[in-house]
């Protein structure tokens, strides 16, 4: 069977390979020589270059979006797969399992209240006017960050749930002179004005904020942070972690940004969760970088200009879509083609909002090792000890 491997070779190049059907990542497979292997994303296989050089030996398991999944030889019974990739498989499986149907509300202090019943069978939100493109449970990883006093919380920035205890956001969203430090996190929010009556919403107090090495609040670089919650989130169809995009090379797919339209600059927050698609094809991303270099010349906050190693430029299509429709701290993401799950590629950082100038996003893949050490420390130590 012929497949197009667009990640590592020319799109126009066809390779002859054996396809064993759509097998899940980390499942067993059989190589052409009869040996056992494991299905992994192509760049996660230590021998992917050797297999591509002799394509008669290449066995594909399927695809995740446009990323080929290949049968990788076992090396000492260990195939390198990052902790975040393993966790991704767990979270994706939640979309096909029964999930938790009993919803538990949390006060802002993290104290659990009595269960309030089960999730409704329908995804429709009857009280919402038409014209909104996002469905109620379309983005179960989306988080809303709160500031100020408990009696009058200001909900401003966004974030992404990436585990039961951690939310990924922009570092600049964690504190400011006007709002003070971030204190609260809400999950399962769709309509901001219905948070108090929505039994699916879970609210938490921020336990701790983690910053990456090199972060300085006065600069636009390393604009990423991990918010540790004071309690464990209850996972269900409306609250579920997203996956992390781990490859340095950007996916050749359409990005989407989501949020309630708020930034730390004080713009009014939209009530309903919004989404917009951004251009992410490889050739257009490079054009965006060229435009970014003109639009974002060195400044006091960006003294060395844009850094392509840990910053992404993305722009809307001819409609002018941009993070005017997304939150600071919210995700730049791609969707798995076969399920309701997302990979976080970037974090909304800064830009000239609501214009045709590309926005700038923190590149998540650059920070995956740091994220894994904070979010899954025990698993990271065990994984490192085995290598």
Catalytic residues: 172, 223, 328
79, 44 contact by CB (below 8 A): yes
244, 84 contact by CB (below 8 A): yes
Extract the tokens encoding 317.
Answer: 């299509």
CA dist 108 and 185 (Å) reads 8
| Distance of alpha carbon 212 from the chain centroid | 17
225, 216 contact by CB (below 8 A): no
Beta bridge partners of 227: 167, 209
Q: Which of 313, 345, 337 is nearest to 242 (CA)?
A: 345
8, 50 contact by CB (below 8 A): no
DSSP string computed for 90-127: HHHHTTTS----B---B-TT--B-----B--S----TT
Extract the tokens encoding 169.
Answer: 């956001």
Q: Which of 295, 386, 369 is nearest to 82 (CA)?
A: 369
Structure letter (DSSP) for residue 21: -
361, 344 contact by CB (below 8 A): no
Neighbours of 13 (CB within 10 A): 10
Q: Which of 7, 152, 151, 115 is nearest to 70 (CA)?
A: 7
240, 95 contact by CB (below 8 A): yes
Beta bridge partners of 239: 236
89, 25 contact by CB (below 8 A): yes
Structure letter (DSSP) for residue 233: P
Structure letter (DSSP) for residue 245: P
């Amino acid at each position: 069977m012929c497949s197009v491997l667009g990640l590592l070779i020319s799109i126009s190049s066809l390779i002859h390979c054996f396809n064993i059907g759509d097998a899940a990542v980390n499942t067993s497979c059989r190589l052409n020589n009869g040996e056992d292997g494991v299905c992994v994303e192509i760049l996660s296989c230590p021998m992917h270059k050797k297999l591509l050089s002799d394509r008669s030996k290449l066995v594909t398991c399927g695809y995740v979006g446009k990323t080929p999944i290949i049968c990788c030889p076992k090396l000492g019974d260990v195939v390198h797969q990052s902790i975040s990739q393993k966790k991704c498989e767990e979270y994706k499986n939640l979309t096909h399992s029964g999930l938790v149907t009993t919803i538990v509300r949390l006060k802002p202090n993290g104290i659990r209240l009595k269960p309030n019943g089960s999730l409704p069978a329908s995804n429709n939100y009857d009280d919402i006017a038409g014209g909104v493109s996002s469905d109620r449970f379309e983005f179960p990883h989306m988080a809303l960050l709160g500031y100020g006093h408990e009696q009058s919380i200001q909900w401003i920035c966004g974030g992404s749930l990436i585990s039961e205890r951690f939310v990924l956001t922009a570092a600049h969203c964690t504190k400011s002179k006007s709002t003070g430090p971030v204190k609260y996190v809400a999950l399962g929010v769709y309509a901001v004005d219905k948070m108090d009556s929505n039994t699916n919403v879970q609210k938490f107090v921020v336990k701790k904020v983690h910053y990456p090495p090199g972060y300085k609040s006065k600069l636009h670089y390393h604009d990423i942070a991990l918010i540790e919650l004071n309690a464990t989130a209850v996972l269900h169809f409306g609250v579920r972690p997203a996956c992390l995009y781990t490859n340095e090379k950007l996916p050749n797919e359409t990005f989407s940004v989501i949020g309630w339209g708020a930034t730390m600059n004080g713009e009014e927050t939209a009530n309903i969760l919004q989404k917009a698609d951004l251009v992410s094809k490889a050739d257009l991303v490079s054009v965006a970088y060229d435009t970014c270099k003109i639009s974002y010349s060195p400044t006091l906050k960006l003294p060395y200009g844009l850094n392509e190693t840990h910053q992404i430029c993305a722009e809307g299509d001819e409609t002018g879509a941009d993070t005017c429709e997304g939150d600071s701290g919210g995700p730049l993401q791609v969707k798995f083609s076969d399920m309701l799950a997302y990979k976080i590629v970037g974090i909304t950082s800064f830009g000239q909002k609501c214009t045709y100038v590309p926005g700038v996003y923190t590149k998540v893949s650059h920070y995956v090792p740091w994220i894994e050490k904070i979010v899954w420390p025990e698993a990271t130590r065990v994984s490192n000890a085995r290598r």
